[in-house]
Structure 1
């Protein structure tokens, strides 16, 4: 019930804001609601158990700060240390992380698209649960990366590297984002895009990653964890013909069809189109390894928030309202269905009640 009320609140606000063209400042109640919902959760979310173990294991003693068996990055460890030194609990950490992630993503959406209400609604599909109730550390890193995309377009490499370096303090996956600066802003022919997709589809049908990790000398640390994921009977399993696969395919087909129109409408279209292609290629390339589709995919899936919002350029105001109503139904269906797919989100518990 709590999840349904939350997504209904967001949907109603998104529809109202589309009709009345609400100022970004008036989105504050929704932002606060999202932060409180994720930030005050207790024994809820599939990351709760591991983060609780890490919080209890992390010492506030300066000499033992990084003496923790859990694979946590230094930025997240220091945040836990700061909270523990003030006598705080784990929910303090979640609240700070949620406030940071949600606020920064909202600010970024406001930079990249004029359709703010639509962007916030799509965040509920492509980011909220993933970043704030599942992969908290990676969520903070992705929020920083999302914000830094503007510096790729403006060709400010120092600012881009600086923001990514902060992201790296919270999740090691930020490492793969540095090279993107040099090619993701360019426009490529649709022919080359289709060839890339076909290539990833073919390679993805093999066990290429399993052969790679068996070939490389991997002894310990995060590399050993990656090998464990690949060879796992739980995480190293196929994930191709999923709901998400067809969803991305349809979105890319629409973007390709109206490519020329959309690239004229917004200067950020090319870069978010390229990121969406990367997200789809990850789905294909790692189709035999579910964990990498999930963990790498969420980095680039956030681009669909912006790309889909650009479809509004193709519509009149009345059609935009109908479009957001349809998306509200879709996002609500996905959101409620997802939280009820296991027992990690249900029942929802909060330190407030």
Structure 2
């Protein structure tokens, strides 16, 4: 019988990280010679695409998207297409945004195989990331590494709909910088057609490019740490109150999420907490150096404000672990860009220290994040993944994964 937890499940992810780490060293060597990094860029994209695009049934979201893809009609079956959008077939279709349904129908018409959805999804994502990192990052491969370490695995493996909204937002950052509201809201309006979480991006146009008063930044940060460490619950009463005010199913959901240890417990002092707090302090202490390197105040403000929202959400939403994961993931791109800028500002010796720490931390992160059975990696190029086996493993092991200390 396969164990629920094993270091062998993490091995492919560690290898993936090490490949990108070697590409990172190669990129730096090319940059030092003032050579073109195009070969490193293409190899990075190819490795990413093969690893994620041709994966088997990983984690949990295949349990949602596989039956959804199977239920999607052919584009030319007009009656079934109408039913697919009118929800007369299944109630769960109510939760799926129309843009994603259109994508499903088109892909199902071209090749009626679920893996084709994963392949095209990863191809779209890697093209967005390539554009984003080429445009904003001074260290192309380091941005990919930070993507893998900070939220990227979850985004790529488990968030087929959310990822499109996130990447459309990243594409739209240029329109905040250039103050083009029409294009910004069009981009995120399209994102909203793929996932409702894109609604959080709409207000950002009005302030993300502005510098926040440092006193407010540090005051919010210190208060957030006090609330987090003190485990002071102030959101729970609000959620329950709003739920009761609306009534019906919302009251039940509010009570469920508030009382469930799975969804409402804070994280406490963990490696993740220390990493986020230290990163926030280091980046803001390096604000002037990074700002001088970027040479664009609007752009500097955009990424630091994303970091501020990311860290604030983590500290203030600790009562609801489900909220921490969902909200912070929307703003994790601050790490993917600010770490490369931070690295670029370091002296040669400190870059060596950074590289060594990155190697150790990256291996640790890949190990800790993937050492459970539903992350057991398979690739359709050399394996034959079974949907029946994937469902069996998910049902058998999920409770133990969620409650590892449970006897």
1:171 and 2:195 correspond:
yes
Q: How do residues 141-152 of structure 1 correspond to structure 2 at under 5 angstroms?
A: 141-152=165-176
Indicate the SS of the match to 2:261.
coil
Work out the CA distance in 2 between the residues paired with 1:272 and 1:218.
39
Q: How do residues 181-330 of structure 1 correspond to structure 2 at under 5 angstroms?
A: 181-201=205-225, 205-216=231-242, 217=246, 219=248, 229-266=257-294, 267=296, 268-317=299-348, 319-330=350-361
Greater mean alpha carbon deviation, residues 47-56 or residues 165-174: 47-56
Indicate the SS of the match to 1:239.
coil
Cα 1:82–1:251 change in 2 (3 A) is: same
CA RMSD between the two structures:
2.3
Bigger relative contact order (CA 8 A; separation at least 6): 2
CA contact (8 A) 1:238 1:287 kept: yes
1:64 and 2:64 correspond:
no
- Residue deviations 1:135-189 (CA, integer Å, cap 9, x gap): 2211221111122122212211112111111111111111011111111211123
Greater mean alpha carbon deviation, residues 78-87 or residues 301-310: 78-87
1:351 and 2:351 correspond:
no
Cα deviation for residue 281 of structure 1 reads 0.6
CA contact (8 A) 1:47 1:135 kept: yes
CA contact (8 A) 2:293 2:345 kept: no
In structure 1, the residue matched to 2:36 is 23
Work out the CA distance in 2 between the residues paired with 1:327 and 1:120.
13
Work out the CA distance in 2 between the residues paired with 1:227 and 1:80.
34
Work out the CA distance in 1 between the residues paired with 2:201 and 2:257.
21
Work out the CA distance in 1 between the residues paired with 2:184 and 2:326.
22
Cα 1:350–1:246 change in 2 (3 A) is: same
Q: Which has the larger radius of gyration?
A: 2
CA contact (8 A) 1:40 1:352 kept: yes
CA contact (8 A) 2:149 2:362 kept: yes
Greater mean alpha carbon deviation, residues 227-236 or residues 257-266: 227-236
Cα 1:87–1:255 change in 2 (3 A) is: closer
CA contact (8 A) 1:240 1:284 kept: no
Work out the CA distance in 2 between the residues paired with 1:224 and 1:168.
26
CA contact (8 A) 2:27 2:37 kept: no
CA contact (8 A) 1:46 1:345 kept: no
CA contact (8 A) 1:45 1:134 kept: yes
CA contact (8 A) 2:240 2:254 kept: no
Work out the CA distance in 2 between the residues paired with 1:250 and 1:326.
14
Cα 1:226–1:24 change in 2 (3 A) is: farther
Cα deviation for residue 300 of structure 1 reads 0.9
1:135 and 2:165 correspond:
no
Cα deviation for residue 202 of structure 1 reads 5.3
Under a length normalisation based on structure 1, what TM-score does the superposition of the two structures give? 0.91
CA contact (8 A) 2:306 2:334 kept: yes
Indicate the SS of the match to 1:338.
helix
Counterpart pick for 1:125 among 149, 152, 170: 149
Work out the CA distance in 1 between the residues paired with 2:275 and 2:50.
30
Work out the CA distance in 1 between the residues paired with 2:325 and 2:106.
30
Indicate the SS of the match to 1:114.
coil
In structure 1, the residue matched to 2:132 is 108
Cα deviation for residue 130 of structure 1 reads 1.5
* Gap runs ≥5 in structure 2: 1-10, 75-79, 383-407
Cα deviation for residue 283 of structure 1 reads 0.8
Work out the CA distance in 2 between the residues paired with 1:228 and 1:293.
17
Cα deviation for residue 230 of structure 1 reads 4.5
Work out the CA distance in 1 between the residues paired with 2:111 and 2:53.
17
Work out the CA distance in 1 between the residues paired with 2:191 and 2:223.
31
Counterpart pick for 1:97 among 121, 126, 135: 121
Aligned residues: 350
Cα 1:103–1:87 change in 2 (3 A) is: closer
Cα 1:231–1:175 change in 2 (3 A) is: farther
